[in-house]
Copies of this chain bind each other. A is one copy, B any other.
Amino acid sequence: MSPRIDALQYANWSEKIFRQMRAGGVDAVHVTITYHENFRETVLNVERWNRWFERLPDLIFQGFTADDIDLARRTGRTAIFFGSQNPSCIEDDIGLVEVLHRLGLRFMQLTYNNQSLLASGCYEAEDTGLTRMGREVVAEMNRVGLVIDMSHSGERSTLDAIAHSARPIAITHANPASWHPALRNKSDRVLRALAESGGMLGFSVYPHHLRAGSDCSLDDFCTMVARTADLMGVERIGIGTDLCQDQPDSVVDWMRAGRWTKARDYGEGSAANPGFPPMPVWFRDNRDFGQIEEGLRAVGLSPENVTAVMGGNWARFFRESFGAVERARQEAAQ
């Protein structure tokens, strides 16, 4: 049996949510641990996670390698893999890439909506593509086994990252723009380039990424997944819900505005709809992964393809992506 994996969540973590992961049979989750936090602040977030792992070792533990997905399944727990949605955590210091990888960071977005030191975000008017530092950091992330995530990046930057990266990259949480033309969703050109390079797309259930928003039907969502399988190949897609369960709206303000503006930025929302949107009725929390699975079957995906999309593909990608290049070389030399 194939594992069930979610490639993006940023919840207001609680024992309740971890128990819901177990109830939903979720074996591994890529969790966001930091947005605009600098290195030291990110380490404080790691410390908070360490307290969760210490308090609830029968529910969750930190994942470092793809083997931890198997360990989670064998021991009835959920492996938590760390990620960052912005490169603030490496500050201006490429050496922090390896340090954060050692602390367990397995995904890092090169940008979050805005221009960063590395690349451009999807909300900038001008997209620089990869910067000088961006190219260096991509190579360093390749070396240590830290996945480049372009979910919130601009089109040119994303194509640049795909082309420049020596290892496949990920868009952990977004949908095709051809289905719902949000700035955060991705063009067919990006999705094809991602698939051809061996990368992965995780389908988001965050209402701003859905056609009809919170009212999007499960059938419409799953039909979109099936069509994207036709476009990219079924082995290149998985789930990345972007579940932000139980977060107060102050958190979406932090995600959007960080410390880069004194004004309020509405991101994908608006002055009339500034907070977290309500989730669709068919995916309220981790207990609802079975509904997505049923929905995929209902639109005609084969059982093999359903298990691949629900986690098998991410498991393969984790296995190919999290190891350091030189470690593999050393072990081969023995």
Seen from chain A, the residues whose Cβ lies within 8 Å of a Cβ on chain B are 39-40, 43-44, 46-47, 50-51, 54, 57, 61, 71, 74-75, 93, 95-96, 98-99, 102-104, 326, 329-330, 333-334
- Interface hub of A47, A75, A334 (most chain B Cβ within 10 A): A47
Can you name the residue of chain B whose Cβ is closest to the Cβ of A44? B95
The listed residue (B57, B95, B98) touching A330 by CB distance below 8 A is: B57
Tell me the interface secondary structure of chain A in the complex: helix
Q: Which of A44, A95, A334 has the most CB of B within 10 A?
A: A95
List the number of copies, as a whole number.
2
B residues in contact with A50, CB < 8 Å: 95, 98-99
- Nearest Cβ in chain B — how far from A329, in angstroms? 8
Question: Which residues from chain B contact A43 at a C-beta distance below 8 Å?
Answer: 39, 96, 99
- Write out the residue numbers on chain B whose beta carbons fall within 8 Å of the beta carbon of A95: 44, 47, 50-51
Partner of A98, one of B40, B47, B71, B93: B47
A56 to chain B, nearest CB (A): 11
| Complex: A267 Cα to B74 Cα, angstroms | 55
26 contacts between A and B (CB under 8 A): A39-B40, A39-B43, A40-B40, A43-B96, A43-B99, A46-B99, A47-B93, A47-B95, A47-B96, A47-B98, A47-B99, A50-B98, A50-B99, A54-B326, A57-B326, A57-B329, A57-B330, A61-B330, A74-B334, A75-B330, A75-B333, A75-B334, A102-B102, A102-B103, A102-B104, A103-B103
A45 to chain B, nearest CB (A): 10
CB-nearest residue of chain B to A143: B54
Distance (whole angstroms) from the CB of A104 to the closest CB of chain B: 7
Chain B residues, CB < 8 A from A40? 39-40
Residue of B nearest to A333 (CB): B75
List B contacts of A99 (CB < 8 A). 43, 46-47, 50, 103
Determine the distance from Cα of A50 to Cα of B324 in the docked complex, in whole angstroms.
Answer: 13
Could you tell me the distance between the alpha carbons of A75 and B331 in the complex, rounded to whole angstroms? Answer: 10
Residues of B with C-beta under 8 A to A46: 99
Contacts of A71 in B (CB 8 A): 334
Residues of B within 8 A of A39 (CB): 40, 43
Distance between Cα atoms of A104 and B98 in the complex (Å)? 13
Residues of the B chain whose Cβ atoms lie less than 8 Å from the Cβ of A54: 326
Give the complex CA separation of A236 and B329 in angstroms: 37
Knowing that A39-B40, A103-B103 touch, tell me 20 more A-B residue pairs with CB under 8 angstroms: A39-B43, A40-B40, A43-B96, A43-B99, A44-B95, A46-B99, A47-B95, A47-B98, A50-B95, A50-B98, A50-B99, A51-B95, A54-B326, A57-B326, A57-B329, A61-B330, A74-B334, A75-B330, A75-B334, A102-B102
